[in-house]
Structure 1
Amino acid sequence: MIKAGIFGATGYTGLELVKLLRRHPAADIAFVASQSQAGKTLRDVFPAAPALPLIAGADAPLDAIDVAFLCLPHAAAAETATVALAAGTRVIDLSADFRLRDAATYAHWYAHDHPAPHLLAEAVYGLTEVYRAELPGARLVANPGCYPTSVLLALWPLLRAGLPIAEPIIADSKSGVSGAGRTPTQTSHFVEVADNFSAYKIGRAHRHLPEMEQAIAQWRAAAPALIFSPHLLPVPRGILSTIYVTFEKDVAEADLRDLYTAAYDGEPFVSVLPRGQTAALAHVTHTNRCAIGLTLTGRTLILTSAIDNLIKGAAGQAVQNMNVVFGCDETAGLE
């Protein structure tokens, strides 16, 4: 039995992890931790949750677990990861702290020095379908961001194929409000979100952009530029990304469809939709699935990619990664 500890259990992602791990046939929750709610139970915070006692992160018994899930703010996650790894515990980090390989890039986007730069080279980027071979036995897994999961899974088969692409790639993405986290802000209050639809942090402003650019550069030399435009949807959960890729010469839609079908053949959580269908939140909410639709108009391929931001974009992908790290059935706890 895999003993798991969850840090930051009172956020939306932490709650989803509790739900998934409680039904996992080979995992058991050893503790749930929260700095702000220590001394209460998880049910005190979420009325439908189990009455698990919440402890302070500093009191967490690291010697009692095999894996620590970190649902913590950036910087705090790296500090906790350092302590957990020193105690011999594997770490799956759901923050941004180990997604970027370069400490200077991290410092630029997060406005402070990285707390544990010596660990950056060791971290495995946990986009499971792409980096599965690197995960077994990994000590430290950097769970991808939610927007990057939706965009990168849609782009990976195309970029690795080497087809000539005219710049730029445009990713127009929309997220449900839970993507902003549980701490309220003016822009995430119900009155601001309901009956509204807005873009935010467009241009080169969103912190998920360098994560996507890093992966694209790994997959393709002279990688095409990426324009990323995130939007806030007036729904609780889900991400829909519409991605535009224009080719330098004519390409047959059937060939593109064969490319995607071959790339994701046998993948339990990625579905390439039939011709004429586009991805929608209804394909994926409350699941660990990613649905991808392909539409070719002239030389422009329009990709639609949908995920649940709290599951495939966070907690579900983290459990999927845990399954591969520990040699479990990859779908355990997720179907």
Structure 2
Amino acid sequence: MDKLHVSIVGGSGYTGSELLRLLVNHPYVEIDQITSRQDDGKNVTEIFPFLPNKIKNKFVHPDNVSFDKSDLIFFATPNGIAMNFAETLVSKGKRIIDLAADFRIKNIQLWEQWYGMKHACPKLVETAVYGLSELKKNEIKNAKIIANPGCYPTAIQLALYPLLNKKIINEQSIIIDAKSGISGAGKKNDDNLLMAEAYDNFNAYSVQGHRHEPEIEENLKEITNSKDIRALFVPHLLPMVRGIYASIYVDLTEDISEKELNSIYSVAYDQSIFVHFMGVNKIPKTKMVRGSNQCRISCFKRHKKLIILSTIDNLVKGAAGQAIQNLNIMFNFQEDAGLNYIPLNP
């Protein structure tokens, strides 16, 4: 079997390095090009000595790269980069998985409002597929462009989908209290991300509104055929490297037993390799998923409310892992190819 040739634009960041960590052991993939502006010409293993010797590539400057031999290109870049390459690559028959936000929101006016730039290829946004792997498999298979979901939206939507789909919660009173490890902010110069600032500290941010909020609302409406989902989302920064933990509060619209809750989630995810409903009244922990492509979910019923808990590794299921899962679906590989990692413990 001929291997699939893939390239990574933005290979020196956290999501880029995580893609490399996972792809080197993928049985059906060969890495073609890896771009980096600051590390142009350097051996990849010089920058990432944790990678095995099987990577012989050097970083290539994005202005000098050729994707002629690539079947698929990952964009592990800041927002606003992939959209400038997309039309040319798609016209050449290349397929794209964008780990940034360029294709996540169909409403272009809303996207431009939240991301503060004009979209370079709005027509391609119409045909791009939002790559929430467990819930969009049929669409992902034939997609030319995959909009890889954000890390927060992945954990949150997987937790909410079964309930919204069954129409048993008030879709206009969803409150989301979510936390992320520092790597979720990417590799950049920011005083707030320094160890001396982040260690032994905990805080909310973007309290007046976060750009993942419209992504969550728009895509949950689409996959559940709901008319007007409203989510109040407040993110927090945890003094840890990896992890997303979402605590979600919703109002029940009908009385439902714990047995029925177990059934709803089990039916939704009983065929899933990576999403695990632990049962009601269980506590997911970030170490249950650290370094893996897994998502752990549980819920508690209190009075007429539900508290839903969901955790993922932001760099794996929240980024590189889900991107590779989408690649596997696109090319009809085993869904867990290159992703069969047990979570790290301790």
Q: Could you state the TM-score of these two structures normalised by the residue count of structure 2?
A: 0.94
Please say if residues 164 and 171 of structure 2, whose CA atoms lie closer than 8 Å, have aligned partners that are also in contact: no
* Structure 2 match to 1:327: 332
Please say if residues 166 and 247 of structure 1, whose CA atoms lie closer than 8 Å, have aligned partners that are also in contact: no
- 1:80 correspondence with 2:82: no
Please say if residues 4 and 28 of structure 1, whose CA atoms lie closer than 8 Å, have aligned partners that are also in contact: yes
Aligned mates of 2:324, 2:229 — CA distance in 1: 32
* Structure 2 match to 1:45: 47
Please say if residues 62 and 87 of structure 1, whose CA atoms lie closer than 8 Å, have aligned partners that are also in contact: no
Please say if residues 286 and 312 of structure 2, whose CA atoms lie closer than 8 Å, have aligned partners that are also in contact: yes
3-state secondary structure, aligned to 1:57 = coil
- 1:244 correspondence with 2:246: no
1:256-302, Cα deviation, whole Å (9 max, x unpaired):
11100000012000000033311110110100000001111111111
Q: Tell me which amino acid in the other structure corresponds to 2:252.
A: F
* Structure 2 match to 1:7: 9
Please say if residues 33 and 55 of structure 1, whose CA atoms lie closer than 8 Å, have aligned partners that are also in contact: yes
- 1:96 correspondence with 2:85: no
Aligned mates of 1:315, 1:283 — CA distance in 2: 18
More displaced 10-residue stretch of structure 1: 77-86 or 59-68: 77-86
3-state secondary structure, aligned to 1:332 = coil
* Structure 2 match to 1:211: 215
* Structure 2 match to 1:259: 264
Aligned mates of 2:168, 2:183 — CA distance in 1: 36
Matches within 5 A, 1:1-335: 1-49=3-51, 50=55, 52-165=57-170, 167-204=172-209, 206-218=210-222, 219-335=224-340
Aligned mates of 2:5, 2:116 — CA distance in 1: 35
Q: Tell me which amino acid in the other structure corresponds to 2:306.
A: L
Aligned mates of 2:161, 2:169 — CA distance in 1: 14
Number of positions where the alignment pairs a residue of Structure 1 with one of Structure 2: 334
3-state secondary structure, aligned to 1:9 = coil
1:108-144, Cα deviation, whole Å (9 max, x unpaired):
0011110111101110100010101111131110000
Give every structure 1 segment of 4 or more consecutive aligned residues whose post-TM-superposition deviation is greater than 6 Å.
Answer: none
More displaced 10-residue stretch of structure 1: 303-312 or 27-36: 27-36
- List runs of 5+ in structure 1 lacking aligned partners: none
Alpha-carbon shift at residue 51 of structure 1 (Å): 5.2
1:161-220, Cα deviation, whole Å (9 max, x unpaired):
11242741011000000001011201111111000010000132x111110010122224
Aligned mates of 2:144, 2:37 — CA distance in 1: 24
Aligned mates of 1:326, 1:137 — CA distance in 2: 9
3-state secondary structure, aligned to 2:40 = coil
3-state secondary structure, aligned to 2:136 = helix
Alpha-carbon shift at residue 76 of structure 1 (Å): 1.3
Among the aligned pairs, what percent are the same residue?
39
Please say if residues 281 and 307 of structure 1, whose CA atoms lie closer than 8 Å, have aligned partners that are also in contact: yes
3-state secondary structure, aligned to 2:126 = coil
Q: Tell me which amino acid in the other structure corresponds to 1:213.
A: E
Aligned mates of 2:173, 2:66 — CA distance in 1: 49
